[in-house]
Amino acid sequence: MNKHNVEIKKIGVWMDHAEAKFMEPEKELNSMRTIHSASADMKHFPGESSDGTKIGHYRSTNNEAHKHRKEENASREYFEYLAKQLEPYDEIFLFGPTTAANEFANYISREKLLVGKKIHMEKTDYLTDPQKVKLIKEFFSLKQIV
């Protein structure tokens, strides 16, 4: 509780470009929610026939501009959905091993989303789910001590 007896809703979000894992610090590991990005579905695996972007039922293209635009649209949709999920929270801790958290922070700033929310960021390695839970709990417990 803060000085006005209003509970501040907090959440930790581990994210990379393929998925985001959400967890409130007072909850346990089994309450962690995962949101997957559509761009994770667009990966090219070695041995696949073509790296062309499908633009219809029977057509595809190798045009880099089409690929880039499709990836940008997938990222924008992913970030929009994440921002929508974070609206109820007052304090948000973003962390992860890639530049996704910074890109997301830039996106919400540019689009004027989550205005008035406290957003903290930290660069981490790839973590197991129990390590993510531990980091979220430690981050928010240390914030209360300060």
Domain assignment of residue 1, yes or no: no
Q: What is the CATH number of the domain that holds 24?
A: 3.30.420.60
What's the domain range around 141? 10-145
Q: Which pTM was predicted?
A: 0.78
Q: What is the mean pLDDT of residues 107-117?
A: 95
Q: pLDDT averaged over the chain?
A: 84
- Residue 4 pLDDT greater than 90, yes or no: no
64-109 pLDDT, tens digit each? 776 778 888 889 999 999 999 999 999 999 999 999 999 999 999 9
Q: What is the pLDDT of residue 48?
A: 46
Give domain status of residue 4, yes or no.
no
DSSP state of 90: S
Total domain count, the chain: 1
39 lies in some domain? yes
Confirm whether 2 is domain-assigned: no
Q: How far is CA 48 from the centre of its chain?
A: 28
d(CA 94, CA 79): 13
* Burial letters 131-141, b for 16+ CB under 10 A, else e: ebbebbbebbe
Q: What pLDDT is attached to residue 52?
A: 57
